[in-house]
Each structure stands twice: as structure tokens, then as C-alpha cells.
Amino acid sequence: MYRTSGAPIELQLPPEDRESAPFTGWTRAHWEAVADHWLLGLRPHTSPGHAAVLPPASRLSVSGRRSDGLEGFARSFLAASARIAGARGADPENHAEWYAAGLAAAVEPGGPEAWAHAADTRRAPVEGPAQPIVEASAVAFGLALSREWLWDRLDEGVRQRLGAWLAHHASLQAWDNNWLLFTAITEAFCDSAGIPVARPHAEADVERVESWYLGDGWYNDGPLETQGRALDHYNSWVIHPYLWMWYRLRGDRAPADRRARYRERLAAFAGSYSRLFAPDGSPLFLGRSLAYRTAVLAGPWAAALEGVSPLAPGATRRLASGTMRYFTDRGAGSTGPLALGWTTGEYLPMVQGYSGPGSPYWAGIGMLGLSAPADHPLWTEPEQPQPSERNDTPATVALPDLGWLVATSRRHGVVRVVNHGTDHTRPGAAAPTGEGYGPVYARLGYTTHTSPGFGQAWSDGADGHLALVDAWERATTRGAIGGFAVRGEDVAASWHQPFIGGRALPGARVVTASVLHADAEVRCHLVDAPEGWTVREGGTLVATEAAEKPSLPAGGAAWAGDDRWRSVLAPLAGWSGARAETLPYGAVTPLGGGAEVPVLWAAGRPEGGRGVHVSVHALG
């Protein structure tokens, strides 16, 4: 029996197997152990009937306790359903029985644990939480995965009541972004189970999502005119796995040309996205909802399960095991429930208001590969190198439809994205300022081993950004990307209008071109500035325990970091008489300790006009 009181139980893993898994040592048994540990570790934090799961956290989401309890159940069910499905009936921890009891309690008429019904987002103002739309889709996704061992074995009355609850959410109109797929999946499951839906609209919603396709396997998360260029991990933890499940549930009823089109896009995504994982398993730190952690693996798993991935099965498993091990080795979910953070423990500055105690368990969709049986090539083929460690893979690759350059440093084991294409900002608007939004979209560069600065670092606007600064040291923020271009595999450029206090700064404009060479990036800035504003550029912020460094001589390079990582920013042109310094911070990243940013200040306070500033950025 799993202990239900006292100190959390440590994760117990089987011995490594370096013959079948020469890169990570992990086999299917390791994945099963992690899944069981996550799921059993939640049982002490559940309601008596199992319908609500509320792990400890220092805050609830904006949707409230009742919705958060449903969220904890539904999201942990993503991992449970994959574990149940792949085991093909072998269930020593009784996960199927445990979740079946929760489903029954959730739809008991007048029961104390009955799940809430989501509000209709078509009515303004929205009265009540809309969040159950998301959680209904997770329940539907999990039931589709584990149908034979769970849904088919539920009591008929429970199936009818649960079906009615799902059908209600399938009939609702969701927000005009990835949420359209939540109702679509719920409707598709209902249809596959013979459950009528009052207002079916999934076909149109899926085609609308398909219309947001940009290229290189990636979708924008909503219309460009309202969401800006919203490119982030939602492509892997919602858009691709949900589209994959949608076409799977529709089967022959989905038009053949649409299914073929999606398979091509899924294959392209697996190829481009797999470049964003470092050899040590760390994924790119970019975008919102990063507390979902291993959900980044859902897209690559889906491509492999569909049989369209350009990666060999052994390479997919190596990538996935590397990332799962990266988080597990750093304490995420190892000694207690997953927290609202990145590695171990909470880090609330990076968390959005919609996230609650159970939100991190969306990570469970990253266990999608466990739904494949033990004799699947994903589990029987030996591990093979992932793209970031293959010598025959170019160190630099362009994703022109995204406005990104992806660079892998084989010497330092870090993957960098030069970002000229994502901002999550409406055209003509300032970068998002809400909690957990601005830092993860508005920077010119993101990596697998650093985090942008939150809190005071974001307010100062130094890291990874060229700002105009006034006499009171107020710094401009990056406005929406006005346009971008990518040339070859190592050159990209974009322009934006700087904003100050939420308004565009008149007469100001910044055009930036990035050129990659070896482990360095040269940034060339063409700056139009009004009178009285000076130029300040910041390099990559790095977590460090080092003490504050003194300013360096005028014209010299600025650097930050310690023995783990060193961030360097050196002037090449247009910085005559510049001042180089290091800005120290406290815990402004989820990577722990303090942090530092190397900074260059242009000499004097210009009279306004146009100038060119060229610098080199390096991280190693």
C-alpha cells in the first residue's frame, strides 16, 4: 500500500540499462516507475471519492478550488490513461479502478464531489469558470486512450451520466485559440461512443485551427490579428497531440486529403521541434505554461505513434527519456507532487493566473509514448542519437516560417533560438506585461540552459534586449514584430517600435539583424531614437551565485556568470566610449540562486537621429 501520511516517498527507479539505452540508461520500466510515482503520490491529496485532486500549492488558480480539484483529476488522468493503455490490462497499482471510482463520484447526481459545468464563452460576460472545458477534453483524451480498460468497463449509469457531462462541454464554444481543440476532442470522443452532442461544431473548429498553420510543422496559437505571432510549446502539448487524436477518432470519416495534410505537418513538426532539445534533455525555455514541463514530449510521441516521424523510434525514445530524466534528476515530481515551477519547487513569477495546484500535471500528456505496448519499436529498438548530438546534423538551421534560427553548440551542449518571429503581441501593441508573459516572448534569444529574467529583471528590461533609456533610466520594451526575414541558415532580421509605459515612443524604431557564426551571434541594430534617449543593450541573463562584478573599462566587453555558464557581450561597432557593466539580481529565474546580465551603455546622451550598434553575444 502507498503511504498516505508522513514524509513524501522518494522515487525508486530500476537499474540503468546502458545496452539498450546507451545515452540515458532509461527503459520502459523507468517510465512506468515515474508514472506510478506521480499517480500514487497524488492519492493522499484527493477527495474521499477520488473525483477531486488538489496537490499542495501556495495559491489556487483564478477559477477557484472546485475547478482546481477537477483539474488535478483530469490532468493526472492523462498519465494514468497512457499507463493503463500500454500495460494492456496489467495494472498492479489499480490505476483503472481508482480513476473509475473518481469518474463515478464526479457524476453522481447531487453528490458532494460532482464536477462543475463550464460556462459558455459565447455569452459576455462569461458567468462562471470556463476552465472545465479544458479538463473535459483531458478526460475525453484519456478515455479514448484507455477505452478498453476503463470506459468500456464503467457501469452503464456512470457512462450515461459522464457522457452527458462530456456532451455539455463538447457543445460549448471555446476561445479562439488552441481551446477550439478542447471541445473538438470532447465531441470526437462523444461521437465515437455514440453520445449525442446538441450543437456539434468540431469539424469547423479543427479546420479553423488548421488555417493557422505557418510552416515547418508549426501552428500559430490563434489568429495573427488577435494573438500576434504566438509560437510556443503549445504546439507540442496541445495542438499536435490533439489533432493527432482527432484524426484517430474520426478515422475514415475524416476526409483523406485533410488527414494526409495533417500527417505531413506532424512529420515536419517532429523534425523541426526535435532540434530544440539539448543533449542533457533540457527543452527550450520559451512561452507560457512552462510548469507543464514534460508535456513538450507529446508532439514527438504522437509523430512516432502515427508512424510519420523522421526520427527513428530509438531516437524518439532517447529524446523523450533524456527530457524526462532531466526533470526527474532535478527533483521535479521526485519527492512530492509536481509544483508550479520548472525543476523542483514553486517559482510563481513564471506562472500565469489560470494555473492552479493541479496544472503541472498536464505534464502527463508527455507520457503518451507509454500508451504503446512493450513490444512497440519505441521500446524495443536501442536508443539512437537525437538531432542535437548527431555529427551529420548542421549546427545551425533556419526555420524561416517561424522567423527563428536554431543553433546547437556541440562544445557546450546548449541549444539557442534567435527569435525574430514570436512575440504573442497584437500588431501595433506593446509586448505583453501580464505575469509570466512578457519575459517568455519578448526577448531576441532563448536557450535550453537559461531563463529570461522575471520580476525586477523584466522591469529593468536589460536581458536579451536593446532598449532606449531616458534621463530617469526608464527603458523601452519591445513592441510587436513589424516584419521579419530569414536568409539562408544563419541570418535573420526583424523590426519593432519601442514602447514606454504602454505607448509607442514617437520617432523610435529598432531594426535588428542576427548573424550566427560558430557559437556566437552578431547583432546589428539600426536605431532611430528621439532626442534625450540613449542606447543600452543586454546579453543573455544567466543564473549564478557569484558576487557583483565591477564595471569594466570603456570599450571593453561585459560578461556575467560563474563556473557553470558565462554570458559575454562585446562591442564591435558603434559603441565608441561605451560603458560595460554587469547587472546583478536575486532569484529572478526558476533556475535558482542569483542572476546576472552583461550590459553595454552607449556613450553620452544622443541628440536623436539614426545610429548603428553592432555587438557579439556568446554563451558557454
CA–CA separation, 420 and 403 (whole Å): 5
Residue 154: pLDDT band (50, 70, 90) is very high
Asked if residue 11 is part of any domain, the answer here is no
Distance between CA atoms of residues 392 and 245, nearest Å: 33
Angstrom distance (rounded) from CA 306 to CA 300: 10
Tell me: pLDDT of 123 over 70: no
Among residues 365, 389, 413, the one where a domain terminates is: 389
CB 282 within 8 A of CB 451: no
Which residue type is seen at 176? D
The enclosing domain of 574 has a CATH number of 2.70.98
Q: Give the pLDDT band (50/70/90) at residue 5.
A: very low
Q: Does the residue 114 lie in any domain?
A: yes
Does residue 298 lie within any of the structural domains? Answer: yes
Q: pLDDT tier at 119 (50, 70, 90 boundaries)?
A: confident
Given pLDDT bands bounded at 50, 70 and 90, which one contains residue 431? confident
Same domain for 132 and 243? Answer: yes
CA 532 to chain centre: 39
| Mean pLDDT (whole number) for 89-101 | 97
pLDDT of residue 608: 78
| Pairwise CA distance, residues 513 & 332, whole Å | 38
Task: Report the pLDDT value the prediction gives residue 101, as an integer from 0 to 100.
Answer: 98
Q: Which of 389, 415, 440 is the last residue of a domain?
A: 389
Residue 9 domain flag = no
C-alpha cell recorded at residue 314: 530509438
Q: How long is the chain?
A: 620
Average pLDDT over residues 153-174: 97
Domain that holds residue 586: 396-619
R_g over Cα of the chain = 24
Residues 6+ apart with CB under 8 A from 31: 321, 324, 367, 369, 370
Tell me the pLDDT band of 1, cut-offs 50, 70 and 90: very low
For the purposes of burial, counting CB atoms within 10 Å of the CB of 381, is it exposed (0-12), middle (13-18) or buried (19 or more)? middle
Residues 429, 514, single domain; the answer is yes
Whether pLDDT at 229 is above 70? yes
CATH number of the domain residue 206 falls in: 1.50.10.10
Cis peptide before 125 (omega within 30 of 0): yes
Statement to judge: residues 411 and 358 lie in one domain = no
Looking at residue 435, what is its pLDDT?
A: 62
Cα pseudo-dihedral 184, 189, 191, 195, rounded to 10: -120
569 phi and psi, to 5 degrees? -130, 115
pLDDT digits (tens, 9 = 90+) for 375-391: 999 999 999 999 999 88
**Does residue 403 sit in the same domain as residue 373?**
no
Considering the domain architecture, whether residues 362 and 385 belong to the same structural domain is answered as: yes
Residue 432, pLDDT score: 79
Report the mean per-residue pLDDT for the chain. 94
Please check whether residue 496 lies inside any domain of the structure: yes
Task: Provide the pLDDT confidence category of residue 545 given band limits of 50, 70 and 90.
Answer: confident
Backbone phi, psi, residue 323, to 5°: -75, -45
Residue 194: HSE in the Cβ half-sphere, 13 Å Cα cutoff: 4
Per-residue pLDDT tens digits for 593-609: 899 999 999 986 667 78
Query: How far, in Å, CA of 280 to CA of 112, rounded?
Result: 46
Could you tell me if residue 12 is inside a domain? no
Provide the strand spans (E) within 282-413: 396-399, 404-409
Q: 318 and 169 in one domain?
A: yes
Q: Is the pLDDT of residue 76 over 90?
A: yes
* Arithmetic mean of pLDDT, 93-119: 96
pLDDT above 80 for 547: no
Q: Are residues 366 and 417 in the same domain?
A: no
Q: How many domains does the chain contain in total?
A: 2
Residue 580: Cβ within 10 Å count: 21
Please state the three-class secondary structure of 235-295 as a single string. Answer: HHHHHHHHHHHHHHHHHHHCCHHHHHHHHHHHHHHHHHHHHHECCCCCECCCCCCHHHHHH
Q: Does a structural domain hold residue 7?
A: no
Same domain, 428 and 371: no
Same domain assignment for residues 452 and 493? yes
In a 3-state reduction of DSSP, which class is residue 214? strand
Give the cell for residue 132: 472545465
3-class secondary-structure state, position 385: coil
Is residue 3 assigned to a domain?
no
Q: Is the pLDDT of residue 4 over 50?
A: no
- pLDDT recorded at residue 555: 55
Same domain, 359 and 404: no
Q: What pLDDT, on the 0 to 100 scale, is given for residue 606?
A: 66
Q: What is the mean pLDDT of residues 290-304?
A: 98
Per-residue DSSP letter, 601: E
* One domain for residues 411 and 376: no
Residues 6+ apart with CB under 8 A from 419: 286, 403, 404, 443, 444, 445, 446
Residues 385 and 402 in one domain: no
The residue from 360, 389, 418 where one domain ends is 389
